[in-house]
Amino acid sequence: MTTELLVYASAMLSVIAMGLCGVLGWRLGWRAGEKHGRRAERKERIAKRAASLLHRTERRLSIVHDGEPKGAA
């Protein structure tokens, strides 16, 4: 009984310690090895790349749909 209680208590303390370390790391902005300021720049670059890819895809689909560029009638 005492050994089981000791094992349970140590497991709970390790879970709590890992949670505190995770929260502390998140608050300091060190998630995924990046500083807090770089994360916003990275999100911005990804958003621009996604918008560019979407625009190119829309242009290609408009050409493929009719077999000729969209403005030609």
**Confidence at residue 60, expressed as pLDDT on a 0 to 100 scale:** 74
Q: pTM surpassing 0.85?
A: no
Residues 18-44 as b or e (16 or more Cβ within 10 Å = b) = eeeeeeeeeeeeeeeeeeeeeeeeeee
> Could you read off the pLDDT of 14-33 as tens digits, one per residue?
888 888 877 777 666 665 55
User: Which residues, given as ranges, of the chain have pLDDT below 70?
Assistant: 1, 26-37, 63-73
**Confidence at residue 63, expressed as pLDDT on a 0 to 100 scale:** 63
Distance of alpha carbon 57 from alpha carbon 52, whole angstroms? 9
Distance of alpha carbon 25 from alpha carbon 46, whole angstroms? 24
